[in-house]
Amino acid sequence: MWAGAGTVRRVRTQASILHLDLDAFFAAVEQRDKPSLRGKPVVVGGTGGRGVVATASYEARIYGVRSAMSTREARARCPHAAFLSGRFHAYREASAQVMSLLRAVSPLVEPLSLDEAFVDLERSDLPDLEVETVTALAAELRRRVTEVTDGLTASVGLGTSKFIAKVASEIDKPDGLTVVVPGTEQELLRPMHVSVIPGVGPATSERLRRAGIHTVAELESVSADELVRLVGKAQGTSLWHLARALDDRPVVAERETKSVSVEGTYDTDLTDRTLMEGLLTRQASEVAARLIKHGLSGRTISIKVRLHDFTTLSRSTTLTSPTDAASVIARLARSLLVDLDTSGGVRLLGVGVSGLADWIQDDLFADAEDAGPDGPDLAAPGPEPELPTRHRSGWSPGMDVVHAELGRGWVWGSGRGVVTVRFETADSPAGPVRSYAVDDPDLSVWEPQEPASESATTSGTTGSPG
């Protein structure tokens, strides 16, 4: 029965999905490249005061060092380990070698990270997809991985779905190969903890635990309606299916980028607003550089602020058209910080751009050349930028610079016949705000107009005698 579970999910009848996972990847690359580290505990990750472990070699895992553990704790558990901050060039290179091996097996390869990928064997040249055939292929693949990477090892799992292939690759790690024979999936899953299911992390595990659900077998006995009630619609239906090993997610080779961001955690909490603005400005430049490098631009600019007590805030604003300009991203990022109370100290700051388009409206921005590659810059000396006629029909928050009674400002918002201008002052990136009629004929000498704001309505209420 498919009671209340929506559309049928067709699971493959053959173990044609392969999952490959390079063992203790970052640490293994370090041990490969530096023989003195072989056989010794190696920890790769953040080495600063607030760093965390990215990868621990198996020698370090003996001491209880784990991924995502703070480096501080890892040092306490295994003081004699080598603590390294990582050489991502080397990791990327080794990863590329392995990925190209996988693509030689099948064109349909989905990398999950530098050290992990799914391969769809239905698109391979194999004569059939019987267990013996795919097992032989996987064994040969593992041998080739070690050969081309000069000694790295991989764990491989094979199954009828992504879920099962991934579970399989964990079973005989490191340096192992496991094939889950089609038809035996539920038998394998039932005794396992619910956290084996993708998407079930600490929070969901705890919710399920409180409902008396610990194993996949117990999860299977819960109705779809009950699961939706417990964890929400999307996750509830997903759980109902995955508990039955019903997983028809396809292997997807190319994924579109949805957002680009840069963030940093600082060893000591930040309290100086000017410093924070400077850091956001630098991060905005890095984000812009990456957008440009990939030919992307985006409409939504966000900042992320983690306070001293680890509460995390985000603020965002959306432009009417996409940008990849560092000055625009920086200006908006700084102004988003203005509302936030950071007096207790800030441990993390970040800038991101989402709502990406893979093209830029060149014609629309042609005039930005006057102000340099980053678009109009309020700090730049020289003549006022000439305002093009397009400003009369469409205003672009964050991008358009205008001239009005407080000097130069930039468009903060527009709508209902009004354009809001934010003036940048020496004190603040987001200085005073004034609104102007959108059809004002003279752009540079606009007369201030009463903003259509909330404060106007309250005064009317108190003034009425009733």
Exposed / middle / buried, residue 465 (Cβ in 10 Å: 0-12, 13-18, 19+): exposed
Smallest distance, DNA to C-beta of residue 434, A: 19
Residue type, 277: E
Nearer to DNA, 86 or 443 (CB): 86
d(C-alpha 280, C-alpha 293), whole Å: 20
Nearer to DNA, 133 or 354 (CB): 354
Neighbouring C-beta atoms of residue 193, cutoff 10 Å: 14
User: Of the residues 59, 116, 185, 424, which is catalytic?
Assistant: 116
Nearer to DNA, 257 or 458 (CB): 257
Smallest distance, DNA to C-beta of residue 462, A: 21
Q: Are 261 and 352 in contact (CB under 8 A)?
A: yes
Q: What is each CA distance from 70 to 13, 49, 66, 306, 449, in whole angstroms?
A: 43, 9, 9, 17, 55
Nearer to DNA, 70 or 153 (CB): 70
Q: Are 262 and 302 in contact (CB under 8 A)?
A: no
Q: Are 23 and 174 in contact (CB under 8 A)?
A: yes
Nearer to DNA, 346 or 401 (CB): 346
Smallest distance, DNA to C-beta of residue 170, A: 9
Q: What is the largest CA-CA distance in the chain?
A: 89
Smallest distance, DNA to C-beta of residue 136, A: 26
d(C-alpha 280, C-alpha 428), whole Å: 14
Q: What is each CA distance from 310 to 45, 307, 371, in whole angstroms?
A: 20, 5, 40
Smallest distance, DNA to C-beta of residue 292, A: 13
Nearer to DNA, 46 or 431 (CB): 46
Q: Are 227 and 12 in contact (CB under 8 A)?
A: no
Smallest distance, DNA to C-beta of residue 111, A: 9
Closest among 458, 444, 441 to 408, alpha carbons compared = 444
d(C-alpha 190, C-alpha 195), whole Å: 12
Active site residue 454: no
Helix (H, G, I), strand (E, B) or coil at 422: strand
Per CB under 7 A, residues contacting DNA are 46, 49-52, 54, 67-68, 70, 72, 112-113, 115-116, 166, 198-205, 232-235, 255-265, 267-269, 290, 299-300, 302, 309-318, 347-348, 350, 352, 354-355, 415
Positions marked active-site:
116
